[in-house]
Amino acid sequence: MGLLGMNLASVLLLAFAALVGLVMHELAHAVAADRMGDPTPRVAGRLTLNPLAHLDFLGTLMLLVTGRFGWAKPVPVNFANVRHYRLGLIWISLAGPLANLIIALLASLPLRAYFSGGLLAGEATGQAALLLLRVLMDVNLGLALFNLLPIPPLDGAKVVQGLLPPRYSLRFEQLEGYGPMILVLFLVIPGAVSAVLGPAFSFLYRLILGV
């Protein structure tokens, strides 16, 4: 689901889901860093639900256009302040995608009940609520998967860096300067995002909904 071919109601639903997904993703990063000893996100004003503190114009537009994949402003983290550097690198990086997965799972609960016949939603309001939950699930599942790609500056790259032995971790970190260029190429090559993330999205979608 993207902006093209959508009516106003669908655009508003997608915008709401994007807002929730992006804000909670970055807030989770900020909270994780703060809990692990780094005050940088707090000083930068990122421990907030205020969307203006988190949203990135291009990343939000990307999410609205694709309906699934996008990003927000990265939370500034000084890992020199973080207790247990490697564990902190992994946990803080995973916090954002995990927040999106939790939202997707919570949204899926009423949907599972509906598809199994345990929930009736015949009225217009009920159908609208189910549609909102469907969009929330789609968007947050897409955000989680996209941000777990091991391409700097996405979260997956930091997770890989934290998991690698120190020698290889340093070499991987040195590739960070090429990350944005690789990411741009990945985004502009027609069909690349769907080819890489589509199968994983479909598998998790069916797994979560039990269909």
Angstrom distance (rounded) from CA 40 to CA 208:
35
The arithmetic mean of pLDDT across residues 38-54, rounded, is: 95
Indicate whether 111 pLDDT > 90. Answer: no
- Going through 101-152 in order, the beta strands assigned E by DSSP cover none
Distances (CA, A) of 150 to 3, 15, 209: 27, 27, 27
Question: In the predicted model, is pLDDT for residue 26 greater than 60?
Answer: yes
Residue in 26, 123, 173, 176 annotated catalytic: 26
26 is known as an active-site residue = yes
Section 146-155 average pLDDT: 91
- Condensed to tens digits (0 to 9), the pLDDT of residues 63-110 reads 777 766 777 888 999 999 998 999 999 999 999 999 999 999 999 998
